[in-house]
Every structure is written in C-alpha cells, then in structure tokens.
Amino acid sequence: MAQGVDLTVFGKIREAVGKLIDLRDCFVFGGLGLLGYGLYLFRPWVSFTVCGAVLLAIGIFIGRSKG
C-alpha cells in the first residue's frame, strides 16, 4: 500500500503562514539583523543602541498605523 502526503494540508499551512508573515517583514528584520551584526563587529555597545532605537521606532510606527 502506497503512502501519500495530502498536499492540500501543506497548501493551507503555507497560505496561512503567508497571511501572517509578509515579505516586507522578512526584509525589515533581516536588514536589522545584518545591521546589528555589522555594528557589533565595529563596537558592541553601538550595535545594541542603534538596533534598539530602530526596533523601537518600528514598533511605534506600526502601532500608530494600525490604531
């Protein structure tokens, strides 16, 4: 007896994840990660300060745009 995989389940999961995670989110947080790592190689305290400020600004603007 052959075992098959129900591809409709995977399609539904992919569709649900696609609604939760936008491509812009991947670019924003990927860019922040690369920015943070690059700054960390320069000076660790600069990295944490800059990335913290950028994440704070993103959080503030996201909260205002939805509200």
Which of 31, 38, 37, 39 minimizes the C-alpha distance to 55? 31
Average pLDDT over residues 22-32: 80
- Model-level pTM greater than 0.85? no
- Which pLDDT does position 10 carry in this prediction? 75
- In degrees, rounded to 5, the angle at the alpha carbon of residue 45 between the alpha carbons of residues 42 and 46 is 60
Question: Above 60 in pLDDT, residue 4?
Answer: no
Task: Give me the residue spans of the domains in the chain.
Answer: 22-66
Question: Do the Cβ atoms of 51 and 36 come closer than 8 Å?
Answer: yes
Average pLDDT over residues 39-60: 86
Q: Which residue intervals of 1-67 are DSSP H helices?
A: 7-20, 23-42, 44-66
